[in-house]
């Protein structure tokens, strides 16, 4: 079974934010970045907010940073 979804870069260290329903049940994850496939691992997932956090070797030029002080 395969699943497809979107994500955005949350850090220049390869952290990606996606939805939990996209990564739920995944045994292996890959992320496409500029046409190249990178392995990704699920770091954490939040069912209540439907969020998933991935880590890959992607080094994006721009990121959507998350405020450490909260929303």
Across the chain, the runs of DSSP E, i.e. the strands, are 8-9, 15-18, 29-33, 36-46, 51-56
Q: What are phi and psi of 24, to 5 degrees?
A: -60, 125
pLDDT digits (tens, 9 = 90+) for 49-61: 999 999 999 988 8
pLDDT digits (tens, 9 = 90+) for 14-50: 999 999 998 888 878 898 888 999 999 999 999 999 9
Residue 45 pairs in a beta bridge with 52
Q: How confident is the model at residue 71 (pLDDT cuts 50, 70, 90)?
A: low
Select from 22, 8, 3 the least CA-distant residue to 56: 8
pTM of the model: 0.80
Distant-in-sequence, close-in-space partners of 68: CB < 8 Å, separation ≥ 6: none
């Amino acid at each position: 079974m395969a699943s497809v979804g979107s994500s955005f870069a949350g850090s220049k260290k390869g952290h990606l934010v996606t939805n939990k329903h996209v990564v739920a049940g995944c045994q292996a994850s890959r992320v496409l970045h500029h046409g190249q496939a990178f392995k990704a691992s699920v770091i954490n997932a939040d069912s209540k907010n439907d969020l998933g956090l991935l880590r890959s070797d992607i080094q994006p030029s721009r990121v959507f940073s998350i405020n450490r002080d909260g929303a």
